[in-house]
């Protein structure tokens, strides 16, 4: 633990950055809770199509879900590598996590553009409005996560990511895993339960 990190301890003996980040994740639960509630309340209330069963591609989204789950695995492997001072594997796993995140975003861009081509936009109906806002907000979070991971990867390339910075990687991991659990919920409630 560096002196800088030790200076962040609270009176509870917990790291204040980690505590603050858990509080932030708690607030994010409420944000996504409100977006998911809105989607579910307006579900089935669209007066014009396309409707969810006309347009949602389950096989494609299942692959995206698998991709995001695997990125979470890469993230914990990166953290384990950083904690044991294995810079080589830390670089590999961090890049793999970011790469899988970019793949997920590519899939989302493909899905959104194909939906627009099929006539579903933000203004088409209640389904389009709530679907794009919910999954778009999640995609924005994934984008932030990818940028954060790439920043860590560059720091690893510069040799500045040792066991002393493990907490920094752990906090970025908390964010990435949260994005993953939000997608677990979205995949079930939006895509599978139509």
Enumerate binding residues for another protein (CB under 8 A).
1, 9, 12-15, 18-19, 22-23, 25-27, 29-30, 32-34, 36-37, 40-41, 58-59, 62, 65-66, 69-70, 72-73, 75-77, 79-80, 83, 170, 173-174, 177-178, 180-181, 184-185, 187-189, 192-193
Please say whether the beta carbons of 187 and 46 come within 8 A. Answer: no
DSSP, residue by residue, 98-136: HHHHHHHHHHHHHHHHHHHHTT--TTT-HHHHHHHHHHH
Nearest CB to another protein, comparing residues 13 and 159: 13
Nearest CB to another protein, comparing residues 105 and 189: 189
Nearest CB to another protein, comparing residues 22 and 110: 22
Least spacing, CB of residue 134 vs another protein, in Å: 13
Nearest to 53 by CA among 131, 140, 122: 131
- Percent helix, strand and coil across the chain, each to the nearest 5: 80, 0, 20
Nearest CB to another protein, comparing residues 41 and 154: 41
CA pair distance 174, 139, nearest whole angstrom = 17
Please report how the helices 87-117 and 166-186 are oriented relative to each other, as an axis angle in degrees rounded to 10: 30
Least spacing, CB of residue 114 vs another protein, in Å: 20
Least spacing, CB of residue 148 vs another protein, in Å: 16
Helix (H, G, I), strand (E, B) or coil at 48: coil
Least spacing, CB of residue 181 vs another protein, in Å: 5
Least spacing, CB of residue 80 vs another protein, in Å: 5
DSSP summary character for residue 14: S
Nearest CB to another protein, comparing residues 30 and 117: 30
């Amino acid at each position: 633990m560096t002196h800088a990190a030790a200076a962040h301890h609270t009176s509870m003996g917990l790291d204040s950055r980690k505590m603050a980040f858990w509080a932030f994740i708690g607030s994010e639960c409420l944000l996504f809770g409100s977006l998911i509630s809105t989607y579910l309340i307006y579900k089935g209330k669209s007066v014009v199509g396309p409707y969810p069963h006309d347009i949602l591609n389950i096989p494609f989204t299942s692959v995206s879900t698998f991709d995001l789950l695997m990125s979470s695995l890469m993230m914990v492997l990166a953290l384990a590598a950083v904690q044991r001072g294995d810079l080589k594997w830390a670089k590999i796993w961090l890049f793999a996590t970011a790469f899988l995140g970019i793949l997920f975003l590519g899939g989302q861009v493909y899905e959104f553009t194909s939906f627009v081509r099929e006539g579903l936009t933000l203004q088409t109906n209640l389904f389009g409005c709530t679907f794009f806002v919910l999954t778009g907000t999640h995609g924005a979070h994934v984008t932030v996560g990818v940028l954060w991971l790439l920043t860590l990867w560059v720091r690893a390339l510069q040799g500045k990511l040792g066991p002393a910075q493990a907490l920094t990687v752990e906090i970025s991991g908390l964010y990435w895993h949260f994005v993953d659990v939000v997608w677990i919920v979205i995949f079930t409630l939006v895509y599978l339960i139509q």
